[in-house]
Amino acid sequence: MRQVTWQPADFVKYEALGNDYVVVDPRYAAFAPLPENVRRVCDRHRGLGADGLLYGPLPAADGFRLLTFNADGSECGGSGNGLRIFAWYLRESGHTEADVMTLRTPSGTSTATIVDADTGVVRVGLGTARTDSGAVGARGPARTMLREPLNAAGRRWEAGCVRLGSPHCVLPLADAPADAELARRVGAAVSGHDLFPDRINVELLHVTDRDNLSIEVFERVAGHTSASGAGAAAAAYVAHARGLSGPRVTVHMPGGRVAVDIGEDGAVSLTGEVGPVLRGHWAPRLARSLSG
């Protein structure tokens, strides 16, 4: 493992596929994870700047518990990239020397594994995918949403909706991969569709071959983004469930690529690199603005 002399810090910032998260450890934190505090920290002009904030580890009977927040201050059940980042933080900061650890979030329990301690490759289990409308958070009668008819952005889609920590709507494209412009236009229309009262994350999927997929991501909070771990996993699950790909694929995104494995029981895992960005202390002015 990379040799790091760990010193206490107010925050540590990491990125995974260009998704950046600030880790705030309660051992050192001088504030509570209130929505206004999260928004200030994640503000890219007046704060540190990040896609989200990971708060933990918190007390747990076993394993390590964390809370995950979006940049707007709202709490989310979990993030694939966020879980991988948090596992790396636990190892790097000395919370554990184990290669395998248990992470607990409001969405459930995940197993994280340090695959390569020299390059920061981390695998995390995202649980078993669900495609029922209740789990996805869709209006209408109870049903499976693996092939859901959906009219949006001027065309009719056959969407694959799945919950992996958070809800996702995967839109397969037959002809060519999506670009950022299409992802923004279609993503905004689908994410805010009446079918999804709490909004939904959107992935535009193109199957390159049975081992490789490409996606563009529109997150329900952040909008168009360079990558999403859970989004990659959701897209891989839908592609495999429809017979378009194998159970292990590489998902390519503008921010990078990850490996997704789908077990026979529907359990999904995500493997990719995590990179440190910076760590440090709040300036006095920012520290005074963080309450609780």
User: Using one digit for the tens of pLDDT, what is the confidence trace for 131-177?
Assistant: 999 999 999 999 999 999 999 999 999 999 999 989 999 999 998 99
Q: Could you give the percent of the chain with pLDDT greater than 90?
A: 87
CA distances from 13 to 199, 241, 278 (A): 28, 35, 5
State residue 291's pLDDT score: 75
| Cis ω for the linkage preceding 276 (within 30 of 0) | no
**The Cα angle at residue 172 between residues 230 and 219, in degrees rounded to 5:** 35
Residue spans of the chain under pLDDT 70 = 1-6, 292
What is the rounded CA–CA span in Å between residue 106 and residue 103?
Answer: 10
Average pLDDT, the chain: 94
Contacts of 120 (CB under 8 A, 6+ apart): 2, 88, 273, 274, 275, 276
pTM of the entire structure?
0.92
Nearest to 18 by CA among 166, 229, 236: 229
What is the rounded CA–CA span in Å between residue 94 and residue 90?
Answer: 6
Q: Which two tokens stand for residue 44?
A: 């890219």
